[in-house]
Amino acid sequence: MKTIMEAKDLCKTYVIEKRQNNVLKNVSLKVEEGDMVAIMGPSASGKSTLLYSISGMDRPTSGQVTFNGKDITATPEKELSEIRLNEMGFIFQQMFMMKNLTVLDNILLPAIESEKGGSKKEKLARAEELMRKLGIIGIADNDINEVSGGQLQRACICRSMMNSPKILFADEPTGALNRQSSIEVMDELCKLNDEGTTIMMVTHDAKVAARCSRVLYILDGRIKGEFKNDKNKSQEERERTLNNWLLDLGW
């Protein structure tokens, strides 16, 4: 498979009150097209910092990130913004939506900002198609405070897919959901992955990670291990095997 994203010797240092905090320490990894990669680790281990640094949402202190053959660590901010808008999708635990817009209008926002995707009519048709696919077309005209958390997160998935991204980044996408909503959202993410969308997500939930093809364990800013899920096994078997591996690493 083709490597869609690669990080080499990635470091991220914050200076707080004249003291250096080395959050990422020479992290190297590859993500192949069609991968579904989970990043796990204890609190403050560097999970989200890694996701933001590798996706271009934050600049690493040193090292290189290559996306689709392009060094995005050396890319000017304006061009990098266009890459994030047109070629990447983002989902967060906190479902950032414009309160004065309907669910459908929120989903449309990235497409309106982008020059790709055709006419406004074509973009509207794509938004509605995604909402039907994820089973939320019935809430298209609702305000965001009139829907459940699970419905809102599925709307966020629709929004992230509006510009047909090459890779989807998710930071704790099920963290604010109850168990049933979490299962439903993961069902949709797995369907997208089965259809070819590359996904990289941060999660603290072994049940979520067990549905991914690979799990990276990060501790104190370094990747300590990698686990490959056997998709031929049942979900219960994958969870049990993954939990044993995490326990061996001190989870």
Q: Which two tokens stand for residue 115?
A: 């020059």
The pLDDT of 209-228, averaged and rounded, is 96
pLDDT score of 88 more than 90: yes
* pLDDT score of 154: 92
Quote the CA–CA distance of 40 and 238 in Å, as a whole number. 15
pLDDT score of 115 more than 90: no
**Cα Rg for the chain, rounded, in angstroms?**
18
Q: Which residues of 32-42 are buried (b: 16+ CB within 10 A; e: fewer)?
A: eebbbbbbbbe
3-state SS track over 126-170 = HHHHHHHHCCCHHHCCCEHHHCCHHHHHHHHHHHHCCCCCCEEEE
* pLDDT score of 117: 74
Q: Which two tokens stand for residue 166?
A: 């090459």
The pLDDT of 19-38, averaged and rounded, is 95
The pLDDT of 27-51, averaged and rounded, is 96
pLDDT score of 145 more than 80: yes
Within 13 Å and on the Cβ side, how many CA atoms surround 208? 29
Quote the CA–CA distance of 66 and 54 in Å, as a whole number. 9
* Stretch among 17-21, 75-79, 85-89, 139-143 having the lowest mean pLDDT: 17-21
Identity (one letter) of the amino acid at 213?
S
Quote the CA–CA distance of 165 and 117 in Å, as a whole number. 11
Q: Which tens digits make up the pLDDT trace of 191-205?
A: 999 999 999 999 999
The pLDDT of 21-33, averaged and rounded, is 95
Quote the CA–CA distance of 247 and 170 in Å, as a whole number. 24
The pLDDT of 34-53, averaged and rounded, is 95
The pLDDT of 77-83, averaged and rounded, is 95
* pLDDT score of 18: 79
pLDDT band at 250 (very low <50, low <70, confident <90, very high): confident
Domains in the chain (CATH in brackets) are 3-248 (3.40.50.300)
* pLDDT score of 143: 95
The pLDDT of 110-131, averaged and rounded, is 91
The pLDDT of 60-72, averaged and rounded, is 96
* pLDDT score of 58: 94
* pLDDT score of 82: 95
* pLDDT score of 16: 81
* pLDDT score of 151: 94
* pLDDT score of 20: 86
pLDDT score of 1 more than 80: no
The pLDDT of 84-99, averaged and rounded, is 90
Look over the chain and give the mean of its residue pLDDT values, rounded to a whole number.
94
Q: Which tens digits make up the pLDDT trace of 229-248?
A: 998 899 999 999 999 999 99
* pLDDT score of 52: 95
